[in-house]
Amino acid sequence: MGYPVTYHCPACETIVELERDGYLADKAVTPYPFEGWTYVEPTAPFEDDAADGVRFVCGVSDGVVWDPDVGIESTDDHGDDEGDAEGADGTVGCGESFYLSFVRYEDGREVDPRPETELVEIDPDPRSSGPRGPSGPGGFW
């Protein structure tokens, strides 16, 4: 059984409603994809480990409701591959991509999408790396 779940575009705060199963756990909604995650359009299967997340194009993606308070459903009136969600003023959303990422597990452990921090080695050279002071008499007093 699916449930309507709402998310907002990180760029313009437009709300989108997506019908999905309740067992999926959300990780984040970001303006960029996580490295190593696979994303599909909202109309493609994303449940049962088919994908790691959903890619939305704000105000354009099919298979969702844009601005659920108004009930704008995405449609494809123009014969192209992209749907247009139109409200009273003619437009909804900013057209930017954003990504819903689900919690992902590998070997029974949750995967952290952030890359591991890199260790920095400070130069062990004993020589001074800063400027030298005045040498001999006649320095500044």
In a domain, 25, yes or no: yes
Q: What is the pLDDT of residues 17-59, one digit of tens each?
A: 998 887 778 899 999 999 889 999 999 988 877 899 999 999 9
Q: What is the pLDDT of residues 73-113, one digit of tens each?
A: 554 443 333 333 444 455 788 999 999 999 988 898 988 88
Over the chain, what is the mean pLDDT? 78
Q: Answer with the residue of higher pLDDT: 138 or 125.
A: 125
What b-and-e string marks burial along 60-75, b requiring 16 or more CB atoms within 10 Å of the CB? bbbebbbbeeeebebe
In a domain, 6, yes or no: yes
In a domain, 94, yes or no: yes
Number of domains in the chain: 1
In a domain, 14, yes or no: yes
CB contact at 8 A, 42 and 18: yes
CB contact at 8 A, 14 and 58: yes
In a domain, 120, yes or no: no
Range of the domain at 61: 2-110
In a domain, 128, yes or no: no
In a domain, 54, yes or no: yes
Q: What is the pLDDT of residues 110-120, one digit of tens each?
A: 888 876 667 77
In a domain, 119, yes or no: no
DSSP string, 16-81: EEEEEETT--EEEEESSPPTT--EE-TTS--TTTT-SEEEEETTT-SSSEESTTTTEE-B--SSSS
